[in-house]
Amino acid sequence: MRPSLLPGLLAAAALAALEEGTPADLLLTDYAMPGISGIELAARVRALRPGLPVLLITGFAEIGDASVDVPVLTKPFSGEQLQAAITALLADSVPG
């Protein structure tokens, strides 16, 4: 089965979708977004859905206070690198 995508959601919309029970296998988020950072979004998502894997992408060499332990993929990256990071996260995730 192919995963479904909810592309381009703002952080607030992504949180609302998860709160409403929208199925998700992975959260892929940028670090720099309007409103809240990707780290803050990851923390909120982890509180809401503790087993949901999160991958943070960023173009910043240093992302400051990384108080949430999430894997980071630094830009620029190839499609193969993105695929490998997602595959590894999904392999390590706890179902359910």
Domain assignment present for residue 6? The answer is no
**Position 9: which residue type?**
L
**Position 49: which residue type?**
R
Domain assignment present for residue 1? The answer is no
Report the number of distinct structural domains present in the chain. 1
User: Residue 8's pLDDT is what?
Assistant: 67
Domain assignment present for residue 48? The answer is yes
For the stretch 16-67, pLDDT in tens is 888 998 888 899 998 888 888 888 899 999 999 998 999 999 887 666 555 5
Residue 69: C-alpha distances to residues 13, 20, 59, 80 (Å): 23, 25, 18, 23
Domain assignment present for residue 5? The answer is no
User: Residue 78's pLDDT is what?
Assistant: 95
Domain assignment present for residue 73? The answer is yes
User: Residue 88's pLDDT is what?
Assistant: 93
* Domain around 37: 11-92
Neighbours of 37 (CB within 10 A): 20
User: Residue 13's pLDDT is what?
Assistant: 86
